[in-house]
Amino acid sequence: MHELAITESVIDAVTERLPDARITCVHLEIGALSGIVADSVRFCFDLVTEGTNLEGARLEITETAGRCHCKVCGSDFEPDGPITICPCGSIEVTVVAGQELKIASVRVA
C-alpha cells in the first residue's frame, strides 16, 4: 500500500513548511489517473498525523477527473478507467490531467 508512504510525504511537506503552526485542515487534490486510492489516504491520515502538529486535523480530498487527448483523431476525452484508450480505439493518447497529487490548501489555527 503505497498510500501510506504518500500520506507520510504529504505530512512531512506540511510540517516542514509550517513546523510550529497548529494545522486544522489539509485539502488534497488527487487525480483519477494518479494511481492513488483516496480512501486509503483517508485511512492513513489519522495514523500518520499522530504526534505531529497535524494531529486532529481534518482531511479534505477533491478527486479530479482524468483528461486525455488522442493523437490520432484529435479528440479530448475522459477515460473510463486507468486504461487510456480513445473512443476511436486508438491507444496513442496523451494524458493532460488527472495524474496529480496536490496539496491544494492548509488551514492553521
103: its cell numbers: 496539496
What are 55-96's pLDDT values in tens digits? Answer: 999 999 999 999 999 999 999 999 988 889 999 999 999 999
- Contacts of the segment 55-60: beta carbons below 8 A, 24+ positions apart: 56/24, 57/23, 57/24, 57/25, 57/26, 58/24, 58/25, 58/26, 59/25, 59/26, 59/28, 60/25, 60/26, 60/27, 60/28
What are 24-43's pLDDT values in tens digits? Answer: 999 999 999 999 999 999 99
Which 3 state secondary structure label does DSSP give 6?
A: helix
CATH number of the domain where residue 28 is located: 3.30.2320.80
pLDDT at 1: 56
pTM, entire model = 0.85
**Range of 23's domain?**
2-108
Mean pLDDT of 42-54: 95
Counting the structural domains of the chain, the total is 1
The CB-side HSE value for 42 (13 A sphere, CA atoms) comes to 9
